[in-house]
Amino acid sequence: MNRREYLRSAAGLAAVGTVGLAGCMGGSGGTGTLATHVSDQPGDIGDFESLVVTVSEVRIQPADGDLITESVDDVTADLTNLQGDKQKLVAQSELEPGEYEHVHLGISNVEGTLSDGSDAAVDTAGEAGLKFQTFVVDGEESETFEIRSDETTSFTADFTPVKQGGSGSYVLRPVADEVTVAYEEVTATTSA
């Protein structure tokens, strides 16, 4: 067997193995939905007239798999309008059922206007965006959450601007005890 035939054979076996493994994932064969929302925990948000974040991607880490990256069509959310129980849906993703370890929001832009009308310097903690890895699930703190077959898992990423000393700049920080996960069964509807 020459090198070219060997490579074709190896590629074919790899493809068959991948398809076989994909069929074993997820248990019941259905998918679940991850609905990702954003909200704002009170902090230094009172300093702002508006604080608009642009979410460009959501990265989800399965407990036993590769990182999943979902592109988002640059959804904007003004955090000054999302205080308390208010939230905004920024993405919905169909995922395999199972345990997940963290959700990471890719923030492509932040524009802040302070209450006095001046521009605010607001950044995320580094280039990495905002990573959420501790959740409140059914009232209890957890380091994982589930995607359940034929259910919607509502993930609410709560973060707040924090003033940085005397510099006058702000950084967006996740608020771990306000990051919630809730489950909702999806019911099928039929039209008569």
pLDDT tens per residue, range 58-97: 999 999 999 999 999 999 999 999 887 888 999 999 999 9
Q: Which residue segment(s) compose the domain that 101 sits in?
A: 31-185
Q: Looking at the structure, tell me whether residues 14 and 75 fall in a common domain.
A: no
What are the φ and ψ backbone dihedral angles of 155, each rounded to 5 degrees? -105, 120
Termini Cα distance of the chain? 62
Whether 59 and 68 have beta carbons less than 8 Å apart is answered as yes
Q: Looking at the structure, tell me whether residues 99 and 132 fall in a common domain.
A: yes
In the chain, the number of structural domains is 2
Q: Looking at the structure, tell me whether residues 10 and 55 fall in a common domain.
A: no
Q: Looking at the structure, tell me whether residues 97 and 143 fall in a common domain.
A: yes
Q: Is residue 190 a part of any domain in this protein?
A: no
Task: Provide the mean pLDDT of the chain.
Answer: 77
User: pLDDT class for 128, splitting at 50, 70, 90?
Assistant: low
Q: Looking at the structure, tell me whether residues 162 and 80 fall in a common domain.
A: yes
Q: Looking at the structure, tell me whether residues 38 and 114 fall in a common domain.
A: yes
Q: Looking at the structure, tell me whether residues 106 and 170 fall in a common domain.
A: yes
